[in-house]
A and B are shown apart, each in its own frame.
Chain A
Amino acid sequence: MDVLLQQLLNGLILGSLYAMVALGYTMVYGILELINFAHGEIVMLGAMVAVSLLTLLVGAGVPVPLALFLALGAAVAVCMLTGILVERVAYRPLRNAPRLAPLITAIGVSIVLQNLAMIFWGRQYLSFPPVQEVQVYDWMGATVTNVQLIIVGVAALTMGGLLLLVNRTRLGRAMRATAQNREVAGLMGVDVNRVIAVTFAVGSALAAVAGLLIAAYYGIAHYNMGFTLGLKAFSAAVLGGIGNIPGALLGGLLLGVIESLGAGYIGDLTGGFLGSHYQDIFAFFVLILVLVFRPSGLLGERVGERA
């Protein structure tokens, strides 16, 4: 029982990270019907900026809370700027082009960002400086650490903030209007270009926070870390119903838990025929099942609520 509980906890922590990244995919898709494949790279950028700056500041003797704040601020700023720039340069000129064109551009942007990061930071792994003593708490036979609690807490806060932004503010209403019908929203006096740019900025800021959390959790950052992560988060967004914000949350958490349980039990279930490195089979099998029976994802039919 304690093993199951531990696996569920593992899954929820992993899932909250997926969910934060999935939100970025879903927001952009909701507004532009564009799959922004470069989003995983924005997360990587956030992680790399935060880790390098944090290492520098902590090394220079800056107090840890201040260093964390500055590193996070810088990561958010860099990611927001990159997000806005990518939208302006790579997506806006193609907004009325056939759908395949911006998709290909998105893949191109992803490769460009990855290679720029490789040139700037090199191929080696960056390590997250030990800023916080890890404390392990026992809870009903399972363990959880203060770092994990912080991660889940920060993830919940930022995602809650996003929901408030989308549902309760004037900007959120403009975003929802743009998502429903871009032309009509424009006719109603919504500055569509600005709203789209802001959407990218908000998604990228979330990505920066996610990047910092991921680097803190795993202790490492690498120019290549955004690719698989982006793919998983994208799957989570599709699982929950792409374009739907609560769907991204649900999809992310679900994917994390499924992966965790899959990796934990697949070996025992198949009598050792499939090892734990096949954990992704579980996740993607569930994804296929959901898409076969509910093509728009778990929460996909609530089109009206998408951002």
Chain B
Amino acid sequence: MKSKLLIALVLASMAGGVGASETVMIGCVAPLTGPQAHLGKDIENGARLAVDAINASQPTLGGKPVQFELQVEDDQADPKTATVVAQKLVDEGAKGVIGHLNSGASIPASRIYADNGIPQVSPASTAVAYTHQGYETTFRLMANDSQQGKALGQYAAKLGKRVAVVDDRTAYGQGLIDEVVKAVQASGAEVVGREYTTDKSTDFTAILTSIKSKRPDVVVFGGMDPQAAPMIRQMRTLGMKIPFMGGDGMQSAEFIKLAGPAAEGVIGSSPGLPLANMPGGAAFTKRYTERFGKIQIYAPFSHDAAEVLIRAMLKADSAEPEQYLPELAKTQIDGIIGPIAFDDKGDLKDGPVTLYQVKSGKWETLEIMGGASAR
């Protein structure tokens, strides 16, 4: 009887010991319902893998043992919901945030985090504006649209000296093509035609005819797959056999389906490295698959987002945002996705962009531009 009481006492004191280790809340926001739910779950799982690994290594902050806790929220890929859950995380005392997925959600939410001084690392948002609002708290691990446009432009200039461009007049398409034009001109090639369309058009024969008359060597399109697919079909029917390129808006399986045989040889870019080319890709895939199944796209990025946040806290020896934010900005680590360092805006330095080409009805890696491969 006495020994039993003793054991109970010992157990109680141990439990007390665990309770004494502090908990640091880290927010993780992505769409967990709706058509992008699988991508949101990808982000959550990637971050969880990183947090669990660090917790298992018995981390300490200020000499006290500490456990990191992932607080997951659903922004439904909706700007308004994004601000609501952002405020919720702030109120609950999150010390840092991984997210959001969509630029349209990251940007309005970033203001709330910035007002409360909470660092935000997005694993997925690519709109240039996200890190260019003047906030010190915004970071991202994906190459942004401007880095992508630059890569596309440089590659286009390699393919030929006469480049024609088309954009769909959306913020994305126009932004991408503006960067393409700059990069083409910087590479010593010439932009011989710039035409415009809309994100609802399906007939491009008129602008393509006009482009054809300017005898370009390559056409670059800034827009989404529902326009890119009819565009390449119409290019081929107009007898234009020159290469056709575009950004991540058309680098999709949907594009190949819609364009049919005309998709063959088309070049599309996407920010980030393909999983197979990431330095930690193979090991990460194994760890992830064992626990969660198939990786969609973002898991390696959200894993590293959690990693840079927590590593900065450990280095600053504090989970207080004002203490660890300077360390976060100075991050220098080798992540799963490659070497990670931020520029003064919070963008990934030298963010890699991968070019893919359709071969036998599949996107195959063509070339990796920027990033680790350039070092």
**Which residues of A are interface residues toward B (Cβ below 8 A)?**
2-3, 6-7, 10-11, 13-14, 124-125, 127, 130, 134, 136, 138, 143, 145, 147-148, 218-220, 222, 224-225, 228, 259-265, 267, 275-279
Contact = CB atoms under 8 A, between A and B. Distances in A.
Residue among A14, A264, A267 with the most chain B CB within 10 A?
Answer: A264
A76 B127 CA distance: 45
Interface stretch (B9-17, B62-70, B154-162, B256-264): B256-264
B195 interface: yes
B205 A14 contact: yes
A278 B207 CA distance: 11
30 contacts: A2-B213, A3-B212, A6-B212, A10-B205, A10-B206, A13-B205, A14-B203, A125-B254, A130-B260, A134-B237, A136-B239, A138-B239, A143-B237, A218-B202, A218-B203, A219-B229, A219-B230, A219-B233, A219-B258, A219-B259, A220-B229, A261-B206, A263-B206, A267-B195, A267-B210, A275-B169, A275-B195, A275-B196, A276-B197, A277-B169
B213 A3 contact: yes
A259 B207 CA distance: 11
B123 to A, nearest CB: 25
A134 B236 CA distance: 9
Contacts of A138: 239
B212 to A, nearest CB: 8
The secondary structure that dominates the A interface is helix
A142 to B, nearest CB: 8
B192 to A, nearest CB: 13
Given A124-B254, A130-B261, 13 more contacts: A10-B206, A11-B206, A14-B205, A127-B257, A134-B236, A136-B239, A143-B238, A147-B237, A148-B237, A219-B230, A264-B207, A276-B195, A276-B196
Nearest to B258: A127
Given A136-B239, A218-B202, A220-B226, A263 B210 contact: yes
Contact of A220 (B194, B196, B202, B237): B202
A261 B207 CA distance: 9
A225 B213 CA distance: 30
Nearest 9 A/B pairs, CB to CB: A263-B206, A277-B196, A275-B196, A10-B205, A3-B213, A143-B239, A260-B206, A264-B210, A218-B202
Interface in B187-233: 194-198, 200, 202-203, 205-207, 209-210, 212-213, 226, 229-230, 233
Nearest to B214: A3
A147 B226 CA distance: 20
Contact of B205 (A222, A260, A278): A260
A138 B169 CA distance: 32
B259 A276 contact: no
A224 B201 CA distance: 11
A127 B260 contact: yes
A218 B238 CA distance: 13
Contacts of A265: 210
Contacts of A222: 226
Contacts of B195: 267, 275-276
Contacts of A277: 169, 196-198
A265 B206 CA distance: 9
A148 B212 CA distance: 19
Nearest to A147: B237
Contacts of B209: 3, 6-7, 10, 264
Interface in B233-251: 233, 236-239
Nearest to B213: A3
Contact of B210 (A3, A14, A148, A224): A3
A234 to B, nearest CB: 17
A218 B230 contact: yes
Contacts of A225: 202
A14 B210 CA distance: 16
A262 B202 CA distance: 16
Contacts of A147: 237
A277 B257 CA distance: 26
B109 to A, nearest CB: 25
Contacts of B258: 125, 127, 219-220
Contacts of A143: 237-239
Contacts of B260: 127, 130, 219
Contacts of A260: 205-206
Residue among A134, A147, A224, A265 with the most chain B CB within 10 A?
Answer: A134
Residue among B209, B230, B254, B259 with the most chain A CB within 10 A?
Answer: B209
A6 B211 CA distance: 12
B207 A276 contact: yes
